[in-house]
């Protein structure tokens, strides 16, 4: 398997982490829009305060008070409502709107203090899991039921490997406490909560290795709860996937 392409530069516009996902440009644009608006409002607020003080010293008329005080307040209210609705729609498109039916399925499970990634194998279906079967030392960290017909070809890795330019639907789970799944370069951040199943979907674009972090303080070993997302060109990913599926087939025989 060929190594992924090197990532350069390490930071994007305005020193942001490099944008390596399809939706990243839209999020970055919205972030920069907020920053520019905040800068403009800072200057405008000082101007309004100065004008307001000057007008009040002259026993301002009601019309002038309306122009200097109330109209800017109404404009600010509408502006913040616009920014809030726009950011909500951007987040909903990634978190609440379902992924395409052709999206690749991967399950992400967080536990103290490691990430596990499960692929459904050739049948494209995940097998059942049971907490009573969880045994990391025996090679079954997620408790996959060996008697489930859909679980015999599932395989688990400690590194998340994905193809470039293909949508991926991640199913997030946690076995013990709340963990925060985050990949800054993919503009991803979503909590994995015990007893709940959450989804987040995205399309990686730039091959390379990216750090997977936990953004929740999940215990004394929190500092070492890191993993790697490796994005590969489609041919290299196909080779990686076939090698793991072949290994599972041999192990089940």
Task: Collect all residues with Cβ–Cβ distance below 8 Å to 4 and sequence separation of at least 6.
Answer: 207, 208, 209, 230, 231, 232, 236
Split at pLDDT 50, 70, 90, the class of 93 is low
pTM metric for this prediction: 0.74
My answer on whether omega of the bond before 26 falls inside 30° of 0, hence cis, is: no
pLDDT digits (tens, 9 = 90+) for 207-220: 999 999 999 998 88
* Alpha-carbon span 48 to 69, nearest angstrom: 8
pLDDT beyond 90 at 3 = no
Do 172 and 181 meet the contact criterion of CB atoms below 8 Å apart?
yes
- Through-space distance between the first and last CA atoms of the chain, rounded to whole angstroms: 26
pLDDT digits (tens, 9 = 90+) for 137-148: 888 999 999 888
Please provide the DSSP assignment of 199-225 as one string.
Answer: EEEE-B-S-EEEEEEE-S--STTGGG-
Residues 81, 87, 93, CA angle at the centre, nearest 5°?
Answer: 135
In this prediction, residue 76 carries a pLDDT of 79
pLDDT digits (tens, 9 = 90+) for 223-248: 899 999 999 999 999 999 999 887 77
């Amino acid at each position: 398997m060929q190594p992924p392409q090197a990532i350069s530069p390490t930071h994007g516009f305005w020193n942001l982490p490099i944008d390596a996902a399809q939706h990243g440009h839209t999020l970055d644009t919205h972030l920069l829009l907020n920053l520019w608006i905040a800068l403009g409002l800072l200057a405008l607020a000082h101007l309004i305060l100065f004008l307001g003080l000057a007008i009040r010293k002259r026993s301002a008329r009601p019309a002038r008070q309306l122009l200097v005080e109330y109209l800017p307040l109404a404009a600010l209210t509408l502006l913040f409502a616009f920014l809030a609705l726009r950011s909500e729609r951007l987040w909903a498109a990634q978190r609440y709107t379902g992924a395409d039916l052709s999206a690749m399925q991967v399950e992400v499970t967080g536990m103290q203090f490691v990430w596990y990634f499960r692929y459904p194998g050739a049948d494209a279906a995940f097998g059942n899991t049971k907490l009573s079967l969880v045994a990391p030392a025996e090679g079954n960290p997620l408790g996959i039921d060996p008697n489930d017909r859909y679980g015999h070809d599932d395989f688990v890795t400690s590194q998340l490997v994905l193809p470039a330019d293909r949508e991926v639907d991640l199913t997030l789970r946690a076995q013990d406490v709340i963990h925060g799944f985050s990949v800054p370069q993919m503009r991803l951040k979503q909590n994995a909560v015990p007893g709940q199943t959450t989804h987040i979907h995205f399309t990686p674009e730039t091959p390379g290795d990216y750090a997977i972090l936990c953004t929740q303080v999940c215990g004394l070993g929190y500092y070492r709860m890191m993993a790697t997302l490796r994005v590969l060109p489609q041919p290299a990913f196909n080779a990686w996937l076939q090698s793991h599926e072949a290994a599972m087939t041999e192990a089940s025989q």
